[in-house]
Structure formats: C-alpha cells, structure tokens
Amino acid sequence: MSPIEQTLHRNLTRLRQRIESACRRSGRDPDSVRLVAVTKYAELDWIRPLPAMGVNVFGESRPQQLVERAAALAGIQWHLIGQLQRNKVRSVLPHVALIHSVDSPRLLQRIGDVAGELGLVAHVLLQVNVSGETSKQGFAPQDLRAGWSDILQVRHVQIDGLMTMAPLVDDPEQARPAFRALRELRDQLRRIAGDSTLLPELSMGMSNDFEVAVEESATLVRIGSTLFEGLG
Ligand SMILES: *Cc1c(COP(=O)(O)O)cnc(C)c1O
C-alpha cells in the first residue's frame, strides 16, 4: 500500500469501529449507517483509493466541484451537501445521486421542474434548521409541518429524508438535542402524512459529533476531516 492508502486505511478502520460502537450502544445495525466521505478539501489522489476500501458515497459542498469530480472519477455516487442556487440545478442534477441540502420550497419546486424536463426523478433530503440559528440554512420546523402536504405534491422528486447541521459546540453531547429534534420532526411528518415509511434517511453528524448522531438514528453521516486526517 502507498503511504496515502495506509493513512486512509487506518483512518477508515478507526472510523468504522467508532460507528459500530455507537450502533452497539444504541441497539442499531451498523449496516443501517452509511458513510458519506466529504471530499470538499480532499485531493483526487486521496479519493481514488477509497472505492476499493468499500467507500462508495462521496459528498461535495459545491455544485461546480461535484460536476468536475463526477466527470473525473467514474462509477461512484456523489451527494451534494452544500447550498444549491436555483440556476445551478440543471447542471448538477444529472451527476448527483442525492441532494442533502434542499432548503426552501422554491428550490424543491425548481428541482422537480428540471427533473421532469430531464426525464428523471431527483432524490433529495430537506435541510432543517432545528437549532433556529439565523446563520443556518434550512426549513424552520414549523414551516415544514405547515407546508408538508404541499411539499408532498411536488412532482419528479423523491424526498428520502431530512438533513441538519448541529450547532458548532465543544462537547458533542451538546449536539444531541438537535439530532433528536430532527428525528422527532421526521416522526411528526410521518404521522401528519399517515405513512410510517416516509423519510427513511436522516443525514446528520460530522467529524466532531457523528457518534452522537448515530445514537440518535442517523442513517447518513457526513465525514471529511477525520477521514482524511494526516494527509496533505
Ligand atoms: C464540510 C462538511 C461536512 C464534513 O465536515 P467535517 O467536520 O470535515 O467532517 C459535513 N457536512 C457539511 C454540510 C459540510 O459542509
């Protein structure tokens, strides 16, 4: 193995152990948690060895970089995790397996319109600002509840779940209420729609708080710095 591969292998092994321990603590199946390797600060040479190590889902925060990297690295799944402007929807949609960061009804509608034109169904998560910080993107929980039946009418989109960013805190325990609130909101939206199978995905948890997120039912953890630690 090259030095880059050795570092990635070591980081990944440790990361998977930590995810598995968090699953064990909370009685979950480790296969129910998917790692999204966040590559926004990673070089292509750090990404290339990962599929052979079983990492198949990659997250980019900038649409332009996602499109470029999807062209450079074939055969892997790309998720968009950062803000999407409506005028970028058309260029990114053909390359993205899941958009985590749909933060308004207008953006959702735009994605549905473009997906319809392109003849595809766009898979999305709705980003929720559960902490209510004004600096954060996302639906306010009360707006999502109030608009839920309209949102479910949007065509050519499949809403797979919810996503949130916890407040930046020193102690990961302090992020727990935000993760729990996202799960509870999901459960409320299921009840409103009378469908307990809706919104299976919860995208929450980053390098500094993913174990708490897994304990609170995350199905997608978005991890960058811990995975690429020691490189560059
Ligand atoms: C950068 C980023 C991450 C990963 O953050 P790390 O702390 O490097 O793990 C996760 N989610 C989003 C939305 C990001 O922008």
pTM over 0.95: yes
Residue with CA nearest ligand 1 atom 10:
222
pLDDT tens, residue by residue, 92-106: 999 999 999 999 999
Residue with CA nearest ligand 1 atom 7:
207
**Long-range contacts of 110-113, Cβ-Cβ distance < 8 Å, separation of 24 or more:** 110/86, 111/156, 111/157, 112/154, 112/155, 112/156, 112/157, 113/156
Ligand 1, atom nearest to 100 Cα: 13
**Could you tell me the two tokens for 100?**
């985590």
Calculate how far, in angstroms, residue 17's C-alpha sits from the geometric centre of ligand 1.
20
- pLDDT of 134 reads 83
- pLDDT of 168 reads 87
